[in-house]
Amino acid sequence: MLEKKIKWLCKTGDKVLTILFWTCMAATLWILLQVFCFTSFKIPTDSMEPVLLPGDNIIVNKLLFGGRLFNLVDAAENEPIQIHRMPGIQNIKRNDVLVFNFPYSNRWDSITFDVMKYYIKRCVALPGDTFSIVDAHYYVKGCSDVLGNVESQNNLLALLNEGTHKEIYLKGYPHDSLFDWDIRNFGPLYVPAKGSIVIMNKANAILYKQLIEYEQKMKIHISGDTVLLNNHPIKWYRFRQNYYFMAGDKTRDSQDSRYWGLLPEDFIVGKATMIWKSVSPASNKWRWNRIFKGID
């Protein structure tokens, strides 16, 4: 009798250990897939209408541009972190819809990494582009691509012309008296690419101050026509990473690069590729026609 009980306990123990092993393997695989391959986000606002609606749950592909590695504990505690990106299989293109960590979550005059705050916008200008907004429409010098939601840009221009835009904040980045940019007419703004060099005059120091301070972890000061980095005069600056100009498809109601500036490549999570679930926040009803819909 005792021998049978021992055999039963051994068999039961083996089964429990096997279940625990495969459970741990599945959990590890799921974590690896979340970190390096795919993840899911829920859309909270209407800034990407009509492509994305509040209540849409989307799949974000991290493989395309490479997953990121960083110290999650330090990031959660708002400590300085180093972000390393794995090799990707393609480059970001204009009009890609990207999920990213919002770079100005704490204050508007400095870039900080917030692991809990994500935005989704459309990339309308790439590293090395010179971007402009003319009569609310987006342009890249030397590029004939249609950028962003043109119908929404037309609607914004109509509102501005009619004067029925009182609830829309017009003033654009960099919010300095040296520039009269707004969301109707903006730029031209050079979008830095890794390794590109800009002359450090007063105008460029204002435009790229946050980017340089983020890269160098030092402060930029302007004294007359002299630009100082950590109290040392600089005449030019070479950028260490790529940057992007991001815009919401709902142009009259989107907090995007028109207001806060350029997005560092480190902050990009991945490309939004598909809606896998959609539930209306107002009615709590499923929107079945949106299930498995691709995101363009």
pLDDT digits (tens, 9 = 90+) for 258-271: 999 999 999 999 99
Spatial distance between the Cα atoms of 70 and 116, rounded to a whole number of angstroms = 14
Q: What is the mean pLDDT of residues 27-54?
A: 78
Q: What is the mean pLDDT of residues 194-222?
A: 95
| pLDDT of res. 71 | 83
pLDDT digits (tens, 9 = 90+) for 157-176: 999 998 877 778 889 999 99
Spatial distance between the Cα atoms of 225 and 278, rounded to a whole number of angstroms = 54
- Phi, psi angle pair for 144, to nearest 5°: -100, 5
Instruction: Mean pLDDT check: name the lowest of 101-110, 128-137, 148-157, 240-249.
Output: 101-110
| Contact present, 65 and 90 (Cβ < 8 Å) | yes
Residue 191 makes CB contacts below 8 A (sequence gap 6+) with 125, 126, 127, 128, 129, 130, 131, 243, 244, 245, 262
DSSP 178: T
| Contact present, 125 and 191 (Cβ < 8 Å) | yes
pTM: 0.88
23, amino acid identity: T
Spatial distance between the Cα atoms of 205 and 207, rounded to a whole number of angstroms = 6
Beta-bridge mates of residue 294: 274
pLDDT digits (tens, 9 = 90+) for 211-239: 999 999 999 999 888 999 998 999 999 99
Q: Where are the alpha helices (DSSP H) in the chain?
A: 2-36, 72-76, 150-162, 202-216, 257-260
What is the set of domains in the chain, with CATH numbers? 37-196+239-294 (2.10.109.10)
| pLDDT of res. 124 | 97
